[in-house]
Amino acid sequence: MTPIRIIGARNIVGECVLWNPRHQQLWWTDIQSSQLHRYDWAGEQLDVYSTPERVGSFGFVADEERLVTAFASGVALYDVNGASVEWIARPQEIVAGIRFNDGRVDRRGRFWAGTMVEGPQKSADGCLYSIGRGGHIRRQEQGLRISNGLCMSPDGAKLYFADSPVRTIYVYDLVEPEGLLANRRIFARTPEGASPDGAAIDVDGCVWSAHWGAGCIVRYTPDGRVDRTIPVPATQPSCVCFGGPDLDILCVTSARENLSAEILNAEPHAGSVFLYRAGTQGLPEPEYLQ
């Protein structure tokens, strides 16, 4: 399978790619450049917005144009056009060497976001949080290295989550109405050299996971079996979503970070966004409910 379109963004670390059906636009963040990217589907126009901090992840907000945004130091409502920030939560666990990373809105309108340990630290001080109505924040997990791969089953009853350095994707039961995590178990382990990064769910409940370092996207069945592998012309694919008017286009971000000149020469599209006809459909992204 080859891409049907390549969006030449040259991101350092492209991440958190999301489809906005209201405006038929594809959004993603370039974390290390402190930028948000917005791609108009019909016009093929790319707009880039500078942000006051690095953005690890974000989600769309119901009935308004602001984004619920996991900045490096906390979660806020962010107006891209006015560059205004309304902080929701800045957890006390965010200290030097810890920043927010992957996040997603669940099917009941809560925003989930996890933190990661940066730099040479060997500690596991990252956490996973949920942010509900009224900005209520709850720490759901701790002892993490790099939070990634957040996505929810079609019925919202399961939450998938990866800790990248330990090459493990977990699945939890999501207990309602409180929105608590229970019964953590291993969903899948990835091979040596393949770190599970961003992920998305399709209509069949299969998990599509970007394998950073291995240059591929892997589709897992709901029981954790590898069903399909799609090669990506970049060593570091970072996140996936389903986009396009029919939600049948697999959109894949990638990264150029820490690649040598030799590798970049061999991978001229590293940092781009790749679009594939997936042969299946995704689900609409839920919106954050304030």
Residue whose pair of structure tokens reads 């599209």 in the numeric block:
269
Count how many Cα atoms sit within 13 Å of the Cα of residue 110 in the half-sphere of its side chain. Answer: 24
Q: What does DSSP assign to residue 4? A: S
Tell me the C-alpha distance between 88 and 162, whole Å: 25
**Residue of 155, 197, 223, 246 marked catalytic:** 197
Tell me, yes or no, if 197 is annotated catalytic: yes
Count how many Cα atoms sit within 13 Å of the Cα of residue 48 in the half-sphere of its side chain. Answer: 12
HEC readout, the chain: CCCCEEECCCCCEEEEEEEECCCCEEEEEEHHHCEEEEEECCCCEEEEEECCCCEEEEEEECCCCCEEEEECCCEEEEECCCCEEEEEECCCCCCCCEEEEEEEECCCCCEEEEEEECCCCCCCCEEEEEECHHHCEEEEEEEECEEEEEEECCCCCEEEEEEHHHCEEEEEEEECCCCEEEEEEEEEECCCCCEEEEEEEECCCCEEEEEECCCEEEEECCCCCEEEEEECCCCCEEEEEEECCCCCEEEEEEECCCCCHHHHHHCCCCCCEEEEECCCCECCCCCECC
Instruction: Map residue 63 onto helix, strand or coil.
Output: coil
> Active-site residues: which are they?
197
